[in-house]
Structure 1
Amino acid sequence: MLAWLLALPRSAKRMISVAIDTVFLSLSIYLAFVLTQNGNARQLSDITLAFIITLPLTLLIFTKLGLYRAVIRYVGQHALGAVLFGILGSAALLAALFMFFDVEQRTNLVIVYALIALVTSGGVRLLARMLLEQRNNGHKTRVLIYGAGSSGRQLAQALMNGDQYHPVAFVDDDNTLQRSTILGIPVGSPNNIPGLIKQKNIGRILLAMPSASRGRRREVLDKLEALPLPVLSIPGMSDLVNGSMRIDELQDVKIEDLLGRDPVAPKKKLLHANIKGKVVMVTGAGGSIGSELCRQIIRCEPLTLVLFELSEYALYAIEQELKALICNECLEINLVPVMGTVQRQSRLESVMRAFGVHTVYHAAAYKHVPLVEYNVVEGVRNNVFGTWYAAEAAIKAGVETFVLISTDKAVRPTNVMGASKRLAELVLQALAQYQTKTRFCMVRFGNVLGSSGSVVPLFREQIRKGGPVTVTHKDIIRYFMTIPEAAQLVLQAGAMGKGGDVFVLDMGEPVRIAELARRMIHLMGLEVRDEEHPHGDIEIKYTGLRPGEKLYEELLIGNNVRKTEHSRIMAADEVCLSWPEMEHLLARLDTACNRFAVEDIIALIRSAPTEFNYSNATSDLVVNAACPVDTRKQLEVLAAADTSRPLVTVLKQTEGKQQIA
């Protein structure tokens, strides 16, 4: 019956509402007559006539007040107000007619009629709403909201009007809110969550703490992790304030909440020093780090921002995003999208000269460790020579400041990517000693959350697909930082450089990747499948370290580190080469790259103060393809027996004829 009524067209539902109001208003006047007239039949005809006259007028008032446009399942204060004013209008008309017909006890009659009509007409709507809510809530997931503050109340109200979640309980740390009721929902203590889950058959926990610090959110998540339910979170306060997300747009718990690291407010003086009112150029502007640098730079109001990028699509995407940002914030910034590669010095120099660039942030690099291992020459060409060409172009174009985005993998590297970045640092340190036109510095930090290749989105996708979650080693640890925080610190560090400085960002506590995967599985409401829990949901599979990968990363090569004016930026004094020595090394490295002599490239990188510990056989795809399969197997055995020699060395010493070109 209810389903049939709900399926009726709106016009039919309105006619039914009019009919129901007619019945209840008629019942109300009859009950009022019985209660106030002591069965005096002489008055009945006059009362009935007066009511018949006022009934159409009452229904007209209801219509004008929009009562019949209100959707029953969303009946609220407006609809009940329409009922109240409609009944008061009806009572006033009846009072006037009763005076005309000289009805006895008319005051009591009108008051009783108004009260009964208000209860029946308003009550039937509330009852219908309650029945519809119960019907709809039966299909919804029952949820508990952690946080009964303003955001929690707004979330509960939004969910009540939605079709997915039904809030059945609040919990809050505030003792004054506990044992109270908000929007008809009881508020309990966080200590009672396990009991509430069983008692109310809760299927989700929603975190409504957008303004809480990450440290506080981490404490809450530590408590919730052991519960067998998924934990979702409302958007952060910044997203809610700027209108980019609604409060009911629930999302998975952010990894930065698990880390519990609160960003430090930036120092505007440092942020603006190299940017405000100047021409700024970002190489690799379409990458994960480069694009965030551009977003942060825009907010510092440069005169012009030059986006230098090799990928056409990446350049288009970041240009469109920044255009929208400039328009929305009413900024006057000239945006210049330039396609080009950092391996062409003439292109870099012409761009810097044409636009009068003051500051360069060099983010262009090949950074995926395995891919650079598979493509050694291109990795070195892009990371080492690309940095050198960009630096030389900056000197010739009169650029004031040049900031290199480096990596923690440059410290005692075990892979070609890290070694190439360390060599790029050495290039800039040597140039800083050789000339004074351009101020060079480099900023070194670890993994950033959400960058291309980050493990976090990979883990989340693997969990959604049912696993397994792949981790290279059970003991591997990494440092993590959000991209916005890293970009802000890079901009501030660049302002403190005096020439050849190596800045190191404070990355906080290192994170064990296997534990990170385990926590993500738990917070998505699943259980890890292992020997102790053979019937769990998601398996963590250890795949072994990839070529050039090490268990832990470092940020400092030596102990010569000093504090700066920013609490999360340190400066390191490290060994470097003079420019004549560096120039000679680069010339030999260029020759080795032209000959595709991977063994010589590795040896030359080792000869520099890079502390390059490259003990594995080379994974370069072209080198491997140049070696016959049978010979390859024999050489792998030999290389494994003597891990101090790269495979290419073994190849040459064994055959003496194999030429790799």
Structure 2
Amino acid sequence: MWFVGRLSRLQKQAIFLAVDVVLAPLSLLASYYLLFHPAIAAQMIGQATLGFVAVTVFSAIGSPLLGIPLIKLKAYEAVGAIKTGLLALFAALGLWLAKLYAGFSLPAAGTPLFLLIFVISMVLSRFALLSLLLSVLRQGQVRRNVLIYGAGNTGTMLASALRSHESIHVVAFVDDSAAVQGMTLMGLKVYPANQLERIVARYDVERVLLAMPSASAARQAAIARDLVSRGLDVHALPSFAQLVGTEVILDTLAPVSPGVYLGRDPVNDLRPEASDAYGGKTVLVSGAGGSVGSELCRQLIRYRPARIVLFEVSEIALYTIEREMAGRVDAEGISFVPVLGTVTESRQVRAVLSEYKVDVILHAAAYKHVPLVEANPIAGLVNNVLGTRTLAEAALEEGVKRFILISTDKAVRPTNVMGASKRMAEFVVQDMARRSTTTDFSIVRFGNVLGSSGSVVPLFREQIKMGGPVTLTHEDVTRYFMTISEAASLVLIAGGLSMSRGPHEGDLFVLDMGQPIRIRDLAERMIKAAGYTVKSAENPDGQIEVSVIGLRPGEKLHEELLIQPGMLTTPHEKILRVQERGLTSMEMSSALRELRNAVAVGNANAARRVLEAYVEGFGSHDRVIAHREQVRS
């Protein structure tokens, strides 16, 4: 029976049509033998040739007209049965015409009997063909026994859909509702959940299909965890209404918007200083595919630059942001240039700046995930420190008018390599600012941005979707937060403010982050915003638990924005300017030389010692002072 699988769709339709055409005269023949004695029936059949021809011809015409051969065997149910009945009536019409115009005779009971036999034989033939097809397809295949958890609409419709599947065999339902337990649906018994272990063993179940979309995510996650703990493979299904689009599928957590968790107003104003800084200019955004870099690109459009160079090391991230920018209806007239490259490659950086006559650089490219950089210090320092130096030197040599570094509050008295690398990057920019009379170098420092890749909000959202627990590193850990949109707006405004001041020794702008937020409070707000309750000692019946897992390597309990007190105001109330001492030119030169030597031999410990020597907070203060005195002497 191997040839069945090789039949074309047209060949299968021809077989179905042939079956219909053959069954019509056979049904008429059966009618005669049921109505009369065999001897009499044989005699009458010999005189009824015209009747047999009529039902055969009308069946051959009516079957394709009704589209019956087009109905797949697996889909032959109510609609197929109705069309079969119509075909039988059409064939009976042929009998009536033969009787009316050609004198064909058949007893009054003959026509209804023919209709009944023809319909039944067609339906049975379809089910017989389906059984034959399934037996052929199932040859050599292992059928997997599955259990459907949920006997509602979704569960029963799923069972119906899987009834003719070649490799899946649904054995039973499980449901928590006492109203359906013990019932038989779709030929399958509904069991209570407390009999799950017995059912799995009895039917050798390997997989459970979770078909209860109306249950809360927390409830579904709890059931899934229990099933997985029993060694079962679990798959969850949405409702069938959702699958066909009759219901809107909504995320239980809406996208984070300004003020939902922070109570901050968005920044939407277009400052004239920023318009002058970017309007009609060529702007290069390094790390253009990252969270902050991509938002800078989106907001730059409002200032109508002539060209935006999308500089990105990740191919997929570059592809994504380039496609987004190309599809922006408000970006008409702006040229977008995707460049796949790294800021550590000196020749490529210089070539790009020269070819596209870049006026402004927004340097957002950095390795920023604290645990990853802690585990890979050499890679983090090469990208964040030496990459910044390479890009800044190329900007000075190619006559770029403006260079702005995106920094972080983790650079202030850092306890981890990532923060120390960003502080060193700040030193690099401050040193370049002292050396430059043409390029305006400055820094914008701010805290965490809500919703950026790797930040707590996407992590908490995913954990809440899974039913918890939401993991917290410490009960009292706090962080400064700002939305990505607000941070990008203020970075661009700060760039305009810096340019308006003319040549200087390098501004360090700090964005007003408001008050630090306790991360536990943020987690609880997100749980409640998703419609769940917090499980705790005071509320043991809550749905989502907050679990404390301990601080990660290099993580601080509280972040800071300033190394030394004192901030100066700017024309924008959310942007402040600070004056912090960097490294002298001699110290900077020594630090870079020592760092390059450590990188050249891949010595992570030597690289860490460089950070300890030059970055306040990372190492012993006495060791820092002693090393600096040694360098100066």
Q: TM-score, normalised by structure 1?
A: 0.56
The SS at the match of 1:500 is: strand
Which residue is 2:445 aligned to?
441
Task: Mark the runs of 5 or more structure 2 residues left unpaired by the alignment.
Answer: 260-264, 433-439, 460-470, 475-479, 495-508, 524-549, 567-577, 599-604, 628-633
Which residue is 1:133 aligned to?
134
Correspondent of 1:364 among 338, 358, 366: 366
Q: Is the 8 A contact 1:171 1:189 kept in 2?
A: yes
Q: Is the 8 A contact 2:385 2:422 kept in 1?
A: no
Change beyond 3 A, Cα 1:66–1:376 = closer
Which residue is 1:265 aligned to?
256
Counterpart residue identity of residue 31, structure 2: A
1:229 and 2:229 correspond: no
1:28 and 2:27 correspond: yes
User: 1:397-546 residue pairs with structure 2 within 5 A?
Assistant: 397=401, 403-404=406-407, 415-424=416-425, 440-444=444-448, 489-495=483-489, 499-501=509-511
* 1:525-559: CA deviation from partner (whole Å, max 9, x where unpaired): xxxxxxxxxxxxxxxxxxxxxxxx9855635436x
1:611 and 2:598 correspond: no
Alpha-carbon separation, structure 2, partners of 1:351 and 1:372: 33
Q: Is the 8 A contact 1:445 1:505 kept in 2?
A: no
Which residue is 1:458 aligned to?
none
Alpha-carbon separation, structure 2, partners of 1:177 and 1:330: 54
Which residue is 2:385 aligned to?
381
Q: Is the 8 A contact 1:441 1:502 kept in 2?
A: no
Larger CA Rg, structure 1 vs 2? 2
The SS at the match of 1:306 is: strand
Which residue is 1:68 aligned to?
69
Q: Is the 8 A contact 2:213 2:237 kept in 1?
A: yes
Change beyond 3 A, Cα 1:594–1:134 = same
Which residue is 2:530 aligned to?
none
Counterpart residue identity of residue 94, structure 1: L
Question: Aligned-residue CA RMSD in angstroms?
Answer: 6.2
The SS at the match of 1:584 is: coil
Counterpart residue identity of residue 500, structure 1: V
Q: Is the 8 A contact 1:353 1:397 kept in 2?
A: no
Correspondent of 2:206 among 188, 191, 203: 203
Which residue is 2:541 aligned to?
none
Aligned residues with identical type, % of pairs: 21
Change beyond 3 A, Cα 1:10–1:593 = closer
Q: Is the 8 A contact 1:141 1:166 kept in 2?
A: yes
Which residue is 1:88 aligned to?
89
The SS at the match of 1:378 is: helix
Task: Mark the runs of 5 or more structure 1 residues left unpaired by the alignment.
Answer: 248-259, 456-476, 481-485, 512-548, 559-571, 616-643, 650-661
Q: Which moved more, 1:439-448 or 1:201-210?
A: 439-448
Q: Is the 8 A contact 2:17 2:60 kept in 1?
A: yes
- State the Cα distance separating 1:439 from its structure 2 match: 8.2
Which residue is 1:538 aligned to?
none
Alpha-carbon separation, structure 1, partners of 2:148 and 2:299: 35
Change beyond 3 A, Cα 1:285–1:196 = farther
- State the Cα distance separating 1:118 from its structure 2 match: 0.6
* 1:486-533: CA deviation from partner (whole Å, max 9, x where unpaired): 99943345557895148678866999xxxxxxxxxxxxxxxxxxxxxx
Alpha-carbon separation, structure 2, partners of 1:296 and 1:171: 51
Alpha-carbon separation, structure 2, partners of 1:174 and 1:299: 52
Change beyond 3 A, Cα 1:612–1:203 = same
- State the Cα distance separating 1:125 from its structure 2 match: 0.3
Change beyond 3 A, Cα 1:80–1:587 = farther
Change beyond 3 A, Cα 1:437–1:387 = closer
Change beyond 3 A, Cα 1:271–1:375 = same
Alpha-carbon separation, structure 2, partners of 1:24 and 1:164: 32
The SS at the match of 1:84 is: helix
Which residue is 1:566 aligned to?
none
The SS at the match of 1:143 is: strand
* 1:102-150: CA deviation from partner (whole Å, max 9, x where unpaired): 74642x3212211221111112202322453366466343334556778
Alpha-carbon separation, structure 1, partners of 2:149 and 2:396: 56
Alpha-carbon separation, structure 1, partners of 2:442 and 2:216: 40
**How many residues are treated as equivalent by the alignment?**
507
Change beyond 3 A, Cα 1:296–1:195 = farther
Change beyond 3 A, Cα 1:70–1:140 = same
* 1:589-641: CA deviation from partner (whole Å, max 9, x where unpaired): 332222557699756744677532589xxxxxxxxxxxxxxxxxxxxxxxxxx
The SS at the match of 2:582 is: helix
Which residue is 2:569 aligned to?
none
The SS at the match of 1:133 is: helix
